[in-house]
Structure 1
Amino acid sequence: MKLVSILLITLFSTGNFTFSAQTAKDRKVTFNIKKGFSTINGQFSKIDYKIVLDKDGSETISGTVGISSISTGNAKRDKHLQNEVWLDATNHPQLVIQSKKIIRKKGGDYTGTFDIKIKGKTETKEIPFEVITNGGSKFLKATFTLSISTFDIGGGVVDLLVGDKVTVNVELPF
């Protein structure tokens, strides 16, 4: 029930490279959060991202996730998550992520510092991610957690049942 998103990506490229996800297939931004004794799983289908990696070290990764594209397998819950108390899709239709710094570690391992904006609130977060080559395809993979209280998400009686930590999984082809 929290947005997540998160939209990262990187390449092994040593030259200039720009990627737009508008034509990408198999991109995934999923999440899970505890609710009572169960776990709610969800995903977003409206994902857009762009990566620029320059050999001079001026890498940048940015992306958005459309709040209205949330899907938890329960249409009533999805609509509820878009209301003002939860993700406020009317006033804040997108989750936004923007890199501030990207460091290549070894192999396909990276660490990025990102500004994540949800519901008008911004958190700066360091997120490790990796680039995996599978056959002829490359994917960025990352798993991280966000605190919904940081973004003023939730409230009411249901809030007592919902955990504060949402786990976000990102898999983006490039």
Structure 2
Amino acid sequence: MTSKTTTTIPTALPLAAGHWTLDPFHSAVGFTIRHLGISKVRGQFMRFEADLIVGDTLDSCAVTATVALDSVDTGNADRDAHLSAPDMLDVANRPAMVFRSTRIEGDGSDWIMEGDLTIGEVTRSVTFDVEFGGVEDSIVDGRRHAGFEAKGEIRRSDFGLGFAPAILGDAVKIQLDMQFVEPE
């Protein structure tokens, strides 16, 4: 006799339906890139916005985020200025990085979020592994907060950002730590 295993994809997130707003004081957008192939440089973007729309099913849930590229912070002002320059990120012509989810699936604490990431004129599909941290009432504002950690990777060359390939790696690892506040 053969046993058959079935997998059920949940139809909704374990969150109240509505527009969850970002808690920017407890959120971060970070990245890691290889330098000379021998070490890693870590940085973050200091200005960003994100929205989480929770619907009745996963198909009606959506995440959007916008990151100001000129807010890059690697802990070195000279390096940050060079990253913003025309031969690097070219923030005058590429002021923002925008993400829009296209699919969310998972269960419990482990989720996958797919979406379109746009930098300048180029849009590519990306996938994030998402860990749902849970929901807790905040003693500060008395509202429910939900926490998420998302990790993914993009290739600079896919977005026309192939500058300095002998110095900087092509792969950029992205880490998002996001906290959202339940709708009132």
Pairwise TM-score range, normalised by the shorter structure: 0.7 to 0.9
Pair member with larger Rg: 2
Q: How far apart are residue 111 of structure 1 and its match?
A: 1.4
Aligned to 2:21: 20
**Normalised by the size of structure 1, how large is the TM-score?**
0.84
Look up the SS of the partner of 2:81 in the other structure. helix
Which residue type is aligned with residue 33 of structure 1?
A: I
Aligned to 1:93: 95
Instruction: Say yes or no: does 1:69 pair with 2:71.
Output: yes
Is this contact kept in 2: 1:16–1:52, CA < 8 A?
yes
Is this contact kept in 2: 1:98–1:114, CA < 8 A?
yes
Aligned to 2:159: 151
Number of equivalenced pairs: 160
Look up the SS of the partner of 1:159 in the other structure. coil
Cα 1:134–1:16 change in 2 (3 A) is closer
Aligned to 1:79: 81
Instruction: Say yes or no: does 1:171 pair with 2:171.
Output: no
Is this contact kept in 2: 1:85–1:154, CA < 8 A?
no
Percent identity over the alignment? 26
**Superposed CA RMSD:** 1.9
Aligned to 1:129: 130
Distance in 2, Cα, partners of 1:112 & 1:16: 18
Q: How far apart are residue 88 of structure 1 and its match?
A: 1.5
Q: What runs of 5+ residues in structure 2 fail to find an aligned partner?
A: 1-11, 138-144
- Runs of 4+ aligned structure 1 residues displaced above 6 Å come to none
